[in-house]
Structure 1
Amino acid sequence: MRIQIITAGTTGSVLPYTGLGHRLLAEGHDVELVVHAKFAASAGCCGLRVRPMETDPFEALMGVHSRLRKAGRSPGALLEFTRAAGRAAVSLADAIIDAADPKADLMLLSSIAAPAGRAVARYHGVDSMGVFLQPETPTAAFSPCLTALRGPSRLNRQRGRAVNAALDLLSAGVYRHLGRKLGFPGLSGGRERRDRERERWPIWHGFSPSVVARPRDWRPGLEVAGYWWPHECPSWEPPARLRDFLASGPPPVFVGFGSMMPGDPERLADLTVRALRLAGVRGVVQSGWAGLDAKDDDVITIGSVPHHWLMPWTAAAVHHAGAGTTAAGLRAGVPAVPVPVFTDQPWWAAHLVRLGAAPAALSYRDLTAERLASALRQAVGESAFAHRSAALARRLAKEDGAGVVARAIAAR
């Protein structure tokens, strides 16, 4: 089968699909991954064909978000961010239109790519399926992932519908743009969601049922597969400097904010070093998109290093609780200190606390060296967090999320 996987966004929104793509490749399918051009080299490792989208609106959007954090939540700042998000969505839609393969048998679409991707697939007469890293279908089982995590309640379905309606309203411009370009009059977010439900469009979710169980009130066709772990290139070697640091003392704490740009990297780096010193632990700080550069006798700053290799060497992980980084920490079986910044990150952070893999979620806005050090002392010093994290990692190791999706495709 000729399969095109289309995704977009940050590193955590791309790497899981390399694992899914390689699994489908191993099953004998002709697979192409469509991603932003900057990910093409890493995503195309070991024979996976990649079609790059030259436009990457999300890095610019992250920059706007970072600048506006300093301006506070004023109406003007919100309006500027909304306009930037609209421009990013239209740019992404055009990139997907250009990259789509009209000869494909199946398009697999991430949640970010799905609004444009479903319309483009329908235009070309190509079958499509959702492969989402976050749940977005309303349920009573939990609150929507763009809000604070709440336990089971009938109100959660109303909250989920309200969040989706707001997203559809914000996306009205991109749907009008798609409708004009593809000749689909009346295209809208609400109509697309209704069509998805009526057609029982299949969506497979790339997270573990041990972390977020499949809600009982979901319709048929909405399934939880398990994590799709990023592809591990066998030729990759860690920097000698990092190997030497890891071997020179006790397991360090990992600190990284991934693709987030939470502002003032110098302040964040200084705060991190002081927190590590107060907690009495060594640290490996990943520079990421924030551009962190932490310096101390017991702290090393690194560039891009696969989490699946690094995290098992660490005693705990301080991170922004993005879906991908959260999954990597759970896989490694190390306690977490989540410091969410925005979107779905507070929701995943709350799951880490609920699972007993983290002592608490810290607000980035109110983060201090003292608060971070206190959480680190708990995460590293109280053995219960390590035991629960290791037990969960053993459960995840028995799952085969990519295989579940591969079998579902074969059964179509």
Structure 2
Amino acid sequence: MTRLVVIVAPGSRGDVQPCIALGHGLAAEGDRVRVLASERFRALATGYGLDFAPLSVDPGEILGSDGGREWTEGGRNPATFLRGLRGALAPVLERLLDDVHKGADGADLVLAPTLGFLGAHLGASLGVPNVELHYQPSVPTRAFAHPLLPWAAGLGPCGRRLSHHAVDVVAWQLLRPEVDRWRSRSLGLPPAGWRGPRRTETPVLCGFSDAVVPRPEDWPSRVHVTGYWFLETPAGWRPDPRLRDFLASGPPPVYVGFGSMRPSEAERTFAAVRTALRRVGLRGLLGTDTGFDDDEDLLTVQDVPHGWLFPRTVAVVHHGGAGTTAAALRAGVPALVCPVFSDQPYWGDRVARLGAGPRPLPLREITADALTARLLELSGNLLFRRGAQYVAARLREEDGVARACEVLRKVR
């Protein structure tokens, strides 16, 4: 019997694209898959043969709001991050929850991120199993602190484990009033209370590689580190002639792009990027819609598949989103991470510890001088390329989608 698998993907492209890769794998094995995401991702999902139900909340809308700016500009301060999460989501949360409820109708299996523990609520309402999707290591462990609380690493094994529980508890308390009303109003469930829904038996799929984050020994068997869920470039995709000609006209360039993390002073930031590239004598690709004039050594690009582009570069400068970090590591090119908030500083630290790039340079600290120094380090240290290529070789041996599908076949 064909299952309807509903995948809730309320984030930006870095969150949605792995879900589409996973859904494509499940569909190839006979499941019917419906992705719940912002309307802007409809064509991406349906292009891979998946059903689609829109979430009227657009991540760009959230990040561009006053609350969203407070959220993203909080840096590594976890209190600011969690307050910002509340401020960004509060105006749209009721709408988001209603869209999720409508889109999950008829599901036989629900896959959802930890945001508000949506999967647990939907699973209880529909009487079907749910699986948590983790894009960063946030299951309690004594091995390392939660990515949002790096300072807890010095608190010893118990403190590191408690840091994960603390983030879950605080995040739930911030969202609980709206989610509990939703449970009562739409799902026919009693309030989940201050503890939140029971999750101790819920399977967890970790969409990252143990070549990047080694699996802790104290994680329970319900936690599966599958490897990354890469979405392969469609066979019919072709680059814009401008990009094709630029790549062919000289040595591989440096790609510089910050995804959905638009710098607060975008023109100043990208002017500093252009100056730094020229000082170091490197060609560049700027992933931005900011109005820069192209020249023989610099080209602006938008919406080019990272899996196709990054192997054609000499290095990548990016914001440290989980998906972009994975794509750069898989390409085997060194990377400089310029984090903004959330788990991005964590991934920047991981890239540096893996020897695949220099220490992170926060996006708000980019100047022409600071970036020039990092680019000299990035391009001049051959150990970074060697480190990136070592990780890439391990990632290419993995099939995260296949491993995740194998786990999900057993969830009934």
| TM-score of the superposed pair, with normalisation by structure 2 | 0.91
Superposed displacement of residue 70, structure 1: 11
Give the aligned partner of residue 132 of structure 2: 130
In 1, Cα distance between the equivalents of 2:204 and 2:125?
20
Superposed displacement of residue 235, structure 1: 1.2
| Residue from 9, 12, 17 that aligns with 1:10 | 12
Q: How many residues align?
A: 403
Structure 1 position 300 matched with structure 2 position 293: no
Q: Which moved more, 1:156-165 or 1:179-188?
A: 179-188
Residue type at the aligned position of 1:19: A
Superposed displacement of residue 285, structure 1: 0.7
In 2, Cα distance between the equivalents of 1:333 and 1:294?
30
CA contact (8 A) 1:255 1:318 kept: yes
In 1, Cα distance between the equivalents of 2:172 and 2:136?
17
Which ranges of structure 2 fall in alignment gaps of 5 or more residues?
Answer: none
Give the aligned partner of residue 196 of structure 2: 191
Give the aligned partner of residue 33 of structure 2: 31
CA contact (8 A) 1:66 1:261 kept: no
CA contact (8 A) 2:67 2:84 kept: no
Residue type at the aligned position of 1:110: P
Give the aligned partner of residue 282 of structure 2: 281
Superposed displacement of residue 82, structure 1: 3.4
* 1:49-128 map, 5 Å: 49-53=51-55, 55-63=56-64, 64=66, 67-68=69-70, 82-102=86-106, 104-112=107-115, 115-128=117-130
In 1, Cα distance between the equivalents of 2:133 and 2:80?
35
Residue type at the aligned position of 2:142: A
SS of 1:25's equivalent in the other structure is helix
Deviations 1:67-89 (A, max 9, x none): 44899899999977633322343
* 1:326-405 map, 5 Å: 326-405=325-404
Give the aligned partner of residue 261 of structure 2: 260
CA contact (8 A) 1:272 1:294 kept: no
Residue type at the aligned position of 1:39: F
SS of 1:130's equivalent in the other structure is strand
In 2, Cα distance between the equivalents of 1:260 and 1:95?
25
Deviations 1:216-241 (A, max 9, x none): 11222012110000242111111010
Query: Sequence identity of aligned pairs in percent?
Result: 37
Structure 1 position 233 matched with structure 2 position 234: yes
In 2, Cα distance between the equivalents of 1:201 and 1:81?
24
Give the aligned partner of residue 162 of structure 1: 166
SS of 2:310's equivalent in the other structure is helix
CA contact (8 A) 1:330 1:393 kept: yes
Aligned CA distance change for structure 1 residues 293 and 121 (closer, same or farther; 3 Å): farther
* 1:169-248 map, 5 Å: 169-181=173-185, 182-188=187-193, 190-192=195-197, 195-197=198-200, 200-248=201-249
In 1, Cα distance between the equivalents of 2:256 and 2:131?
35
Aligned CA distance change for structure 1 residues 134 and 273 (closer, same or farther; 3 Å): same
Give the aligned partner of residue 320 of structure 1: 319
Deviations 1:64-111 (A, max 9, x none): 356448998999999776333223433321210121122x22111133
CA contact (8 A) 1:110 1:131 kept: yes
In 2, Cα distance between the equivalents of 1:97 and 1:270?
45
Deviations 1:149-197 (A, max 9, x none): 74873321122222222212211222222222223222246222xx101
In 1, Cα distance between the equivalents of 2:73 and 2:25?
45
CA contact (8 A) 2:8 2:111 kept: yes
CA contact (8 A) 1:317 1:335 kept: yes
Aligned CA distance change for structure 1 residues 253 and 159 (closer, same or farther; 3 Å): same
Aligned CA distance change for structure 1 residues 359 and 248 (closer, same or farther; 3 Å): same
In 2, Cα distance between the equivalents of 1:223 and 1:159?
21
Q: Which moved more, 1:164-173 or 1:65-74?
A: 65-74
CA contact (8 A) 1:139 1:215 kept: yes
In 1, Cα distance between the equivalents of 2:73 and 2:398?
44
| Residue from 22, 43, 46 that aligns with 2:45 | 43
CA contact (8 A) 2:38 2:59 kept: no
Runs of 4+ in structure 1 off by over 6 angstroms are 69-81
| TM-score of the superposed pair, with normalisation by structure 1 | 0.91
Superposed displacement of residue 116, structure 1: 2.3
In 1, Cα distance between the equivalents of 2:68 and 2:248?
36
Aligned CA distance change for structure 1 residues 156 and 242 (closer, same or farther; 3 Å): same
In 2, Cα distance between the equivalents of 1:119 and 1:39?
24
Which ranges of structure 1 fall in alignment gaps of 5 or more residues?
Answer: none
